[in-house]
Amino acid sequence: QGKFTLLRDTRTDGSFLVHHFLSFYLRAGCKVCFVALLQSFSHYNIVAQKLGVSLAAAKERGQLVFLEGLKSCLDLLFGEEEQSGQPSPLQFLSTSDLHALFDFVRLSLTATEGDAWKGPVLLVDDLSVLLSLGAAPVAVLDFIHYCRVCVCCQLQGNVVVLVHSNEDSEDEENELVVNSLCHHSDLILWAEGLATGFCKDVHGQIKIIKRLSLRQAAEQDLVQIYQYKIQDRNVTFFARGLSAAVL
Element (H, E) at 224: strand 222-230
pTM of this prediction? 0.90
- CATH for 9-79+86-187? 3.40.50.300
Helix (H, G, I), strand (E, B) or coil at 48: helix
- Per-residue model confidence (pLDDT) at position 56: 95
**In the chain, where are the structural domains located?**
9-79+86-187
Q: Which of 6-22 are b and which e, b meaning 16 or more Cβ less than 10 Å from the residue's Cβ?
A: bbbbbebebbbbbbbbb
For residue 128, give every residue at least 6 positions away whose Cβ sits within 8 Å of its Cβ, in sequence order, or none.
163, 164, 174, 177
Which pLDDT does position 232 carry in this prediction?
Answer: 84
Q: What is the pLDDT of residue 52?
A: 93
Residue 115, preceding peptide bond in cis (omega within 30° of 0): no
Q: What is the pLDDT tens value at each position of the chain, 247 positions in all? A: 889 999 999 999 999 999 999 999 999 999 999 999 999 999 999 999 999 999 999 999 999 999 998 888 877 777 655 444 556 788 777 666 899 899 999 999 987 767 788 899 999 998 999 998 888 999 999 999 999 999 999 999 999 999 999 877 778 999 999 999 999 999 999 999 988 888 888 999 999 999 988 777 778 899 999 999 998 888 999 888 776 666 5
